[in-house]
Amino acid sequence: MKLHTACVVVVTILAAGISSNADAQTQGGASPAASCNLPHASGVAQERLVSGQRERGYRLFVPPGYDGRTRLPLVFDLHGSGGSSAGQARNSGFEAIAERERFAVATLDAENARWNVPVADGRPDDVAYVSDVIDHVAARVCIDPSRVYATGFSGGGRMSSLLGCRLNDRIAAIAPVSALRWPGPCTGRSVPVLTFHGLADPQNPYDGKAPGRGAEWLESVPDALAAWAKHDGCDPKVILEDPPGPLSTMRYAGCRDAEVRMIRIDGLGHTWAKNEVDATAAIWAFFSQYALKAR
């Protein structure tokens, strides 16, 4: 029954999308991809780079059968506050799907395990860090610069929200889990958004207004979704699809070249959804519909 529910949600997301993977929706941003020849071993590698005069690291997964010439999509998978790249890789299981669907995964590490979001002076510029990692990966692996995506859990979800706002010329779509935010004002192109949230989440409450935790925790998840819908030019009225069972969908129609959708899970706490719905598979199904338009 749980597997059937997960498949239904994935099919629903694909059916509601603007286009299929074979004819991915394009949006302004990426430059045309020239041919490349970058041999790289498959599997997991620990990479190092300097970003903002700080030494940073990340976990890079390249799928088996990579031939050094075929351009791969790239998914950023960001851990929650207090987490790590290794822990997030285990939690999301993105590398298993990447092996099957043939894309690369960059699982990053925040400095002191906490992303600089909301942005504070004196802390690392994590938006620049992600941009630098895109360049670092692209110098080692043939990636498709029009098909770079960002997801993450909890604090990593808040960070992927920030990337959708500040780096949407390089990030084609975002899918925060248990942490959607509207880090506006945001400029630039419409950003496809898919998010998952448990209605019983005590850490990042669905209705916001977490007492004693500062302005960051006042915004509700529906309010954040509505702000993204406004940015994307969607119709202002939200559509709630609430069939029997633990899953319901909140979405907006009429968006400019994008989809804005939330999968709500009744009774789920602060966790990456797996049993009620395979969030990882659904996120990849969503991402695979979108690509940036060549400039």
Whether the predicted pLDDT of 7 surpasses 60: no
- Measured between alpha carbons, how far is 124 from 168 in angstroms, rounded to an integer? 19
More confident residue, 208 or 13: 208
Q: What is the DSSP string of the chain?
A: -HHHHHHHHHHHHHHHSS--GGG-EEEE-PPPPPP------SEEEEEEEEETTEEEEEEEEE-TT--SSS-EEEEEEEPPTT--HHHHHHHH-HHHHHHHHT-EEEEE--GGG----S--TTS--HHHHHHHHHHHHHTTS-EEEEEEEEEEETHHHHHHHHHHHH-TTT--EEEEES------S--SS---EEEEEETT-SSS-TT---TTS-GGGTS-HHHHHHHHHHHTT--SS-EEE--SSSEEEEEE-S-SS--EEEEEETT--SS---SSS-HHHHHHHHHTTEEEEP-
The pLDDT assigned to 23 comes to 46
Average pLDDT over residues 52-81: 97
The pLDDT assigned to 115 comes to 98
The pLDDT assigned to 8 comes to 52
The pLDDT assigned to 11 comes to 44
Name the average pLDDT for the chain: 91
The pLDDT assigned to 214 comes to 81
Domain spanning 2-17+35-293 has what CATH number?
3.40.50.1820
More confident residue, 255 or 17: 255
pLDDT digits 0-9 by tens, 107-152:
999 999 999 999 999 999 999 999 999 999 999 999 999 999 999 9
Share of the chain above pLDDT 70, in %: 88
Predicted structure pTM score: 0.92
Q: Say which range, 8-22, 87-101, 176-190, 255-269, has the weakest mean pLDDT.
A: 8-22
**DSSP class of 230:** H
Q: 78 forms bridges with which residues in the sheet?
A: 108, 152
Q: Where are the domains of the chain?
A: 2-17+35-293
The pLDDT assigned to 294 comes to 76
Q: Is the dihedral of CA 77, 246, 193, 13 positive or negative?
A: positive
Give the H or E element holding residue 5.
helix 2-16
